[in-house]
Amino acid sequence: MNPVAYICQNRRQGIPVLLLPQTKAYQSYIILYNQPIYYYTKMFASIMRKGIYVRAALPFACAAMLLTGCTTPGETDTQYIRLSDAVCSFQGADNRPVTVEVHANPAEWKAEALASWVEVTEVTATSFTVAVADNDSADTRKAEIAVRAGAAEQTIAVVQLAKDHVFPRYRCHPEFQYGTAMSPGGHYAGGFYSTYDEEGNVNQHPVIIDVATGAWTALGPYPNGLFRLLQTMCISDAGELVIACNDGCVVMTPDGNYFRLEVPADFTGLPEVSQVSSAGTWVGWARKNGASCPLKWVDGVAAELPKPALNYRDEPIGDVQARGISADGRIVYGTTWDNLDFGMVYWDEAGEVHYVGEDVRYCRPVERPDGHGGTFTYNLCDGMWTTATNTNVSPNGKYIAGTYRIESLSADGFEKNERNYPAFYNTETQKTVVFDDLPGGGALSATSDGLGFTADSTFGPSSGKVVDIENGIVLGSALEWIESTYGILVPAGYITYMPDSRDRFLGAMLFTGGPVVEGINWYVGPAR
C-alpha cells in the first residue's frame, strides 16, 4: 500500500514506538521528528487533545498537523496536504516570522492569508513564512491561512494575543536528535542535531540554551569522524553538555572546548556519565573486571561507589550503574543492571549503599518448571526498579521516584506476572509511598517539597499525573496541572524534572508526525 494512503486510513490510530531507557544500547530504536516545534495557547485545547502537536514560533507556537486529504472517489492517485503546523500563535508585538513546511500532492499548492494583519511571504516549493503585524488592541485576535493543492485543502489557525500578555514559554526541539537535557537548577537546556554537507558527510551541532532568555550557544560543527554523538545525557548549571558517543561520553563546554572524565587506574575503557549536581559532581559508571561499576567524580577525580552485597533477586551482584544525583549532591541513585531487572539502589550522604524502598522489598524462592520435567529455584521479588533515567531524585535528595513491582507466577509456573505502580521513597524516613490507584505506571521524579510526577505506563508512556506524595493524593493529569498552575496549555506528555525554582521544568511526549509515534522532549521556561 502507498505509505500516504496507509497514513490516511490510520491517521487516528498511530503506530506505537516505545520511549526507551536512557542508555546507548537502545539508541537505534529511538526515532525523533526532525523539525522544530514550539508553543501554543490555551484556546486550542480541544485541538491538542485530539493528537495534534504544537510547534515553533518565537516567542509563541504552532501546532503540527499530520496531513489532510486522501484519495477521492474515481481517482487513482492520493491528493493530500501535509503541513508542519496546524496552529500558529504569536505574542502581541515583536514577533519573528514562522516557517511552515508543506508536502503536497499534487506538488503545486497555494497558501492564502484570510486576514489583512497576516502575511504569507517567502514562498518556496516546500514552505512559506507567516508574519503578523503588531496587535495594538486590547483583545486576542484570530485568523486563518488556507492551503490548497488540487482537491485537498487545509487551514492553519493564526492567533495573536494582546500586546501586554506574558506567560511561561513552552519550547520543544525535536531537531535535537536523541533527547534534550535540563541542568539541575534549570539554568540550561541542551541537545544536538546533525546535518549533511555537500559531500554527504555528517556534521554534528551541539546546542546549549539559556532557559531564562532562550539564547542559543551553538557549538561545532564537529565531523562524525571526530566522535559519533549518540544521545544527550545531561547538562550542568555551568552549561557543560554531556553527550554519549561511540566511545564513552564527551563533555562540551560553552566556550567550544570539550573534555572527557577519567576513570581510576584499575578500570578499563572510557566512562559513561549520566548526571551532574549543581556544584559539578558527576556520576556514572565504567567497566572493571568485566562488570559495570558505579563512579562519582568530585573536582574531576573519580571514586568508586560500593555495590550492594546481592543483586535485585538476592543473587551474587554483577553490574551496577550510578544513574542520577540530587541537585544538592547529597543522594546518588542507580540500578543493578542484572538480568534486565533494573533494581533501584541509592547511596546516602555517608556513601553507604541501600536498596530504594527497603521497607517494601520482599524476595522469596519458588520452584519453577525447567521445561524438561524438573524444576529450578527462582527468586520472586517485590521492590523498586527503574529504567535508565537520570532525573528520579528530588533536587534536595529527599525523594526518589521509581516503580514498585509485585511479582507472581502463573498457575503452571511458566509465566512470571508483574503489577507495576508509581512509588516514591523518602530517604529521610526510609518509607515508601505506593500509588496503587495508578496501576501500570511508574514514578519519574519529584520536587523537594513533595510533588511527584508519574507516567501512565512504565514503557512507552504518553501521559502522566501529578501527585501529593506525603498525603498519597493524585492531583490530576500533568497537562491539567500545568494549565491550572501556569496558565499555559502543553500539547501532550508528562513532567520528567522540576528544579526548586518551580518556574521551569522538563517534560516528554509522544508525537505522531508520520507513520510512527516518536518520543521527544520539551521544556517550559519562565516568562520574560
pLDDT band at 164 (very low <50, low <70, confident <90, very high): confident
Q: 148 and 283: one domain?
A: no
Q: Does 354 fall in a domain?
A: yes
Residue type, 317: I
Task: Classify strands 152-160 and 87-90 as parallel, antiparallel or unpaired.
Answer: parallel
Q: What is the mean pLDDT of residues 429-443?
A: 97
In this model, does residue 48 exceed pLDDT 80? no
Question: What DSSP character marks residue 117?
Answer: T
Residue 210 pLDDT greater than 80, yes or no: yes
**Each residue of 444-469: pLDDT tens digit?**
999 999 999 999 998 888 899 999 99
Name the pLDDT band for 515 (thresholds 50, 70, 90). low
CA of residue 96 relative to chain centroid, distance: 27
pLDDT(517) > 80 = no
Say whether pLDDT at 76 is over 60: no
Give the containing element (helix H, strand E) for 476.
Answer: strand 473-477
Q: Is residue 61 over pLDDT 70?
A: no
The residue count of the chain comes to 528
The candidate with the shortest Cα–Cα distance to 442, out of 14, 21, 30, is: 21
Mean residue pLDDT across the chain: 84
| Domain assignment of residue 150, yes or no | yes
155 with 277, same domain: the answer is no
Region of 526 (left: φ > 0; alpha: ψ -120 to 50; beta: rest) is beta
Range of the domain at 269: 261-491
Please write down the HEC assignment for all residues of 172-225: ECCCCCCCCEECCCCCEEEEEEEEECCCCCEEEEEEEEECCCCCEEECCCEECC
Whether residue 330 is found in the same domain as residue 466:
yes
Dihedral sign of CA atoms 280, 494, 356, 309 in order? negative
* Number of structural domains found in the chain: 2
> What is the spatial distance between Cα 231 and Cα 191, in angstroms, rounded to a whole number?
8
C-beta contacts of 241-246 below 8 A and 24+ residues apart: 241/181, 241/188, 241/190, 241/192, 241/206, 241/208, 242/181, 242/273, 242/276, 243/192, 243/206, 244/24, 244/272
Residue 7 confidence (pLDDT): 26
Mean pLDDT score, 293-308: 97
Residue 110: CATH number of its domain: 2.60.40.10
| Cα Rg, the chain, nearest whole Å | 25
Q: Could you tell me if residue 238 is inside a domain?
A: no
**Quick one: average pLDDT of 354-368?**
97
Q: pLDDT, tens digit, for every residue of 170-204?
A: 888 878 878 999 999 999 999 999 998 888 899 99
Q: Is 134 within a domain? A: yes
Q: Which of 139, 160, 181 is the last residue of a domain?
A: 160
pLDDT value at residue 13:
25
Is the separation of the CB atoms in 62 and 85 below 8 Å?
yes
Band (167; pLDDT cuts 50, 70, 90) = confident
Q: Which of 89-93, 180-184, 220-224, 491-495 has the highest mean pLDDT?
A: 180-184
Position 526 pLDDT exceeds 50: yes
Mean pLDDT of 301-325: 96
- The residues near 272 (Cβ < 8 Å, ≥ 6 apart) are 24, 233, 244, 248, 249, 284, 285, 286, 321
417 in the same domain as 276: yes
The residue out of 145, 160, 175 marking a domain boundary is 160
Does a structural domain hold residue 448? yes
Per-residue pLDDT, 387: 85
CB burial of residue 190 (10 Å; 0-12, 13-18, 19+): buried
Contact indicator for 274, 321 with CB cutoff of 8 Å: yes
Could you please report the per-residue DSSP string of 69-96? --PPTT-SS--EEEES-SEEEE-SSSPP
Q: Are residues 148 and 267 in the same domain?
A: no
Residues in CB range of 385: below 8 A, 6 or more apart: 312, 335, 341, 342, 343, 344, 402, 403, 405
Range name among 33-37, 53-57, 74-78, 278-282 with the lowest pLDDT average: 33-37
Contact residues for 498 (Cβ-Cβ < 8 A; gap 6+):
186, 445, 447, 451, 453, 504, 505, 506
Q: Going by C-beta distance under 8 Å and a sequence separation of 6 or more, which residues neighbour residue 181?
A: 189, 190, 191, 232, 233, 234, 235, 241, 242, 506
- Whether 331 shows a pLDDT value over 90: the answer reads yes
* Amino acid code (one letter) for 391: T
Confidence band, pLDDT 50/70/90 cuts, at residue 60: very low
Q: What is the pLDDT of residue 459?
A: 80
Q: Which three cell numbers stand for residue 495?
A: 513532567
The reply to whether 232 falls in a domain is no
Report the share of the chain in percent with pLDDT over 90.
Answer: 66
Average pLDDT for residues 71-87, to the nearest whole number?
Answer: 71
SS3 at position 46: helix
The band of 390, judged by pLDDT with boundaries at 50, 70 and 90, is very high
pLDDT tens sequence across 214-264: 999 999 999 988 989 999 999 999 999 999 998 899 999 999 999 999 999
Residue 342 Ramachandran class (φ > 0 left, ψ -120 to 50 alpha, else beta): left
Greatest Cα-to-Cα distance within the chain, rounded to the nearest angstrom: 82
How many angstroms separate the CA atoms of 527 and 166, rounded? 6
Which residues lie across from 355 on neighbouring strands? 345
Task: Determine, yes or no, domain membership for 143.
Answer: yes
What is the enclosing helix (H) or strand (E) of 483?
A: helix 478-486
Q: Among all chains, which residue has been given the C-alpha cell 532557559?
A: 211
| Ranges 30-44, 124-138, 196-210: which has the least confidence | 30-44
Give pLDDT, residue 47.
30
482 and 364 belong to one structural domain? yes
Inside any domain, residue 177: no
For residue 516, what pLDDT is reported?
A: 60
Q: Print burial letters for 32-59: b (CB count within 10 Å at least 16), e (below 16).
A: bbebbbbbbbeebeebbeebbbbbbbbb
